[in-house]
Structures are given as C-alpha cells and as structure tokens.
Copies of this chain bind each other. A is one copy, B any other.
C-alpha cells in the first residue's frame, strides 16, 4: 500500500505522456489504460475521475517545473555569472521538458479555475523571489541599469522559452530547415546571455 504502487505509477506516467501530447480533451481514458497496460476500470480505481487525474498531472508537472530551476546560485557569484547560469538553467530545463512546459502553459490558460486548487499543493516559489531580491541589490549597487527585476526575468524567460514553443512558426516564417533551426537552438544560450548583459550592464 505504497503511495505509488507499480500500477499507479504506470498509470500516472502514461497519463503525463498522453496529456502532454494531446491535451485534456484530446486524451481518452482508454488510451491511458492501454499505454499503462491495464484496464480502464483500474484507472477509476486509482484516480476516481478524469478530472482528478488531470488535476494531479498538472499539479505534478507545475511543481516539477518550478522547483527544477533552483540550486547553485550562491551569493558571491558576480552578476555576469549569475545571469549566465540562470539563462543556462532555464534554457536547458525548458528544452528538456519542452512538451510538459507547453502543456502546462496551455492548460493553465484554459482551465484558470483549477489554478486556485492547484496552487496550494505547491511549495517553493521562493527561488524566484531570491533572484528578484538579488537583482534589486545589483541595481542599487549600480552594476546594472534601472530596470524592474520582474521585467528582466520575464525578458530572459521569454527569450529562452519562445523558440522552443514556436518552432513550427519560426521555421515557416523564417524559411528555416531543420538543420538551421537546430543550429539556432544550439547557439541560443550564448545569444541570450550576450544580449541580456549588453542590455543591462552599466559600462564604465
């Protein structure tokens, strides 16, 4: 009677995969059961309804995405290194959990009512707050220009996340091949870091 028996785990993993791939409405309970290798009735045995299963999946992914950005940002690292690590961390995570990220974004917009319920199950948003504070300090120190930390972080996340979410659009509009696009992604961390540092660093 573990919190995660083998079957429950298999179901949950299958549900994550399929929900991320096809969204809430596009995912059928039978498909989850098939992928998990159990009967549809067992689904309802472990998770009472589709909505409950869905909510748990979203909660799990959101929590994972938020807490995953944490770590290794010490107080004594200079602003350049801080931003570089931040960008690198965000980009790698978004690239690794591409579909999951897009899924959470999309479904959170559609089912805004669920958000209130989901928030309570999530622990740490403190990491971001920490970074916001550090940026505020740097600004007072005069190493970076006057910019609201929120604006700066949004800019950074935007530049990291957008190419990953907009791949088909970018390829279409820019007439890019798969190869060219992959090159673009590979140089992306450097591009965003340079761009950001040039934008906010106060030069002597």
User: Interface of A with B (CB < 8 Å)?
Assistant: 22-26, 66, 102, 104-106, 108-110, 112, 115, 119, 125, 128-129, 132, 145, 147-148, 150-151, 153-155, 157-159, 161-163, 165-170, 172-176, 184, 187, 191-192, 195-196, 198-200
Known: A128-B174, A166-B105, A169-B105. Is A195-B147 also a contact (CB below 8 A)? yes
Pick from B25, B26, B162, B176: contact of A158, CB under 8 Å:
B162
Could you tell me if A168 and B198 are in contact, using CB atoms closer than 8 angstroms? no
Pick from B66, B173, B200: contact of A173, CB under 8 Å:
B66
Pick from B128, B153, B162, B168: contact of A108, CB under 8 Å:
B168
Could you tell me if A154 and B172 are in contact, using CB atoms closer than 8 angstroms? no
Could you tell me if A191 and B151 are in contact, using CB atoms closer than 8 angstroms? yes
Closest residue of chain B to A132 (Cβ to Cβ) is B174
Closest residue of chain B to A104 (Cβ to Cβ) is B169
Closest residue of chain B to A163 (Cβ to Cβ) is B154
Residues of B within 8 A of A172 (CB): 115, 119, 125
- Cα A147 to Cα B199 with chains together (Å): 14
Could you tell me if B109 and A165 are in contact, using CB atoms closer than 8 angstroms? yes
Pick from B26, B105, B132, B198: contact of A25, CB under 8 Å:
B26
Could you tell me if B173 and A125 are in contact, using CB atoms closer than 8 angstroms? yes
Could you tell me if A155 and B25 are in contact, using CB atoms closer than 8 angstroms? no
Pick from B102, B104, B112: contact of A106, CB under 8 Å:
B102
- Cα A184 to Cα B151 with chains together (Å): 8
Could you tell me if B173 and A128 are in contact, using CB atoms closer than 8 angstroms? yes
5 nearest CB pairs, A to B: A158-B162, A25-B25, A199-B199, A25-B26, A158-B158
Could you tell me if B155 and A159 are in contact, using CB atoms closer than 8 angstroms? yes
Residues of B within 8 A of A170 (CB): 154
Could you tell me if A158 and B168 are in contact, using CB atoms closer than 8 angstroms? no
